[in-house]
Amino acid sequence: MLNPVYEHLGRIEKLIVLDTDVIIWLLRGRDEVLAKFRIAVEETAGQLYITPVQIAEIFAGMRNHELEKTERLIGSLLVIELDREIGKLAGEFMNKYGKSHSVKLADALIAAATKINRMRLWTFNKKHYPMMTEEEFY
């Protein structure tokens, strides 16, 4: 079921959630990631998403001199709030894939938020997301 907060957006299936690794490469200025980011911004009319999980992961690994650049990028992204439905689905993912695929709770939450909102996940670590189909990746 679509999170009602996003029902007004239309073209939901074209919207993109950025995984933590993508954000890191953007912050480091990797050319091919920056080029694909510009395309993603164009395709989504600037509506790119993260969850509080990516925010926590980024700030946990950030150095003091990176604060301004990091806050600018994070501030430009929309945030999918975690709710009961996302938590339940993430728990189901952990139950099914936690031991067999070493799925971490953070990745289960990101996948659940992406699936429930019918978005696509942009990641360089597809193996972290066995619950996602190829069509659900950007």
Q: Closest by alpha carbon to 107, among 116, 119, 98, 99?
A: 98
Reduced to 3 states (helix: H, G, I; strand: E, B; else coil), residue 125 is coil
Q: How many domains does the chain have?
A: 1
Q: Does 51 map to a domain?
A: yes
Q: Please give the residue range of the domain that contains residue 69.
A: 13-124
pLDDT of residue 10: 47
98: CATH: 3.40.50.1010
pLDDT by residue, tens only, the chain of 138 residues: 345 444 544 444 689 999 999 999 999 999 999 999 999 999 999 999 999 999 999 999 999 999 999 999 999 999 999 999 999 999 999 999 999 999 999 999 999 999 999 999 999 999 999 999 999 999
pTM above 0.85, yes or no: yes
Q: Where are the beta strands (DSSP E) in the chain?
A: 16-18, 48-50, 78-79, 120-122
Kind and range of the H or E run holding 124: none
Kind and range of the H or E run holding 99: none
pLDDT of residue 28: 96
